[in-house]
């Protein structure tokens, strides 16, 4: 059990989790379906979160370019989210970094496409009336 100890609390007692339980409680309570949270469920959620983050970081480090530099980078995490089927659900949360100029260009192109699409549809509506 000593292996699972991640730190010590204010009284010097061993802690099973290192994430702040108050923050996790706030996140859990933000769901409209949750009215109360059992302490055991809170600790288990915190521990599961820690294990998930550890697994994501380890996987990203091993399969990314960080191994050569002995560092884990954001691009390693975003590549993992994009390429790994296991972490595909994180692709929206960990998008690839792009330059601001490239993003603005993409937004402009998207707006132009929307204007062209809406322009074609409105002309057809006028002809029918």
φ, ψ dihedrals at 7, nearest 5° = 175, -165
What pLDDT digit, counting tens, does each position of 68-111 carry? 778 888 888 998 999 989 999 998 888 888 888 888 898 899 88
In 3D, which of 83, 92, 91, 51 has the Cα closest to residue 64?
A: 83
Domain-embedded: residue 12: no
CA atoms within a 13 Å half-sphere pointing along the CA-CB vector of 12: 0
Domain-embedded: residue 67: yes
Q: How far is CA 62 from CA 50, 69, 77, 79, 93, in A?
A: 18, 12, 11, 12, 21
pLDDT given for residue 15 in this prediction? 66
Query: Would you say the pTM of this structure is higher than 0.85?
Result: no
CATH code (residue 44): 1.10.20.10
pLDDT at 59 over 50: yes
Domain-embedded: residue 1: no
Domain count, the chain: 1
Domain-embedded: residue 123: no
Name the helix (H) or strand (E) containing 9: none
pLDDT at 2 over 50: no
pLDDT at 24 over 60: yes
Domain-embedded: residue 128: no
Domain that holds residue 66: 21-117
Domain-embedded: residue 124: no
pLDDT at 53 over 50: yes
């Amino acid at each position: 059990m000593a292996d699972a100890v991640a730190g010590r609390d204010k009284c010097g007692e061993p802690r099973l989790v290192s994430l702040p339980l108050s923050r996790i409680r706030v996140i859990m309570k933000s769901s409209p379906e949750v009215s109360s949270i059992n302490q055991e469920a809170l600790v288990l959620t915190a521990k599961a979160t820690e294990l998930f983050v550890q697994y994501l970081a380890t996987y990203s480090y091993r399969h990314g370019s960080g191994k050569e530099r002995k560092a884990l980078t954001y691009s390693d995490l975003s590549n993992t989210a994009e390429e790994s089927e296991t972490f595909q659900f994180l692709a929206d949360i960990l998008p690839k970094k792009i330059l601001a100029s490239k993003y603005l260009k993409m937004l402009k192109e998207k707006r132009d496409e929307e204007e062209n699409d809406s322009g074609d549809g409105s002309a057809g509506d006028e002809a029918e009336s």
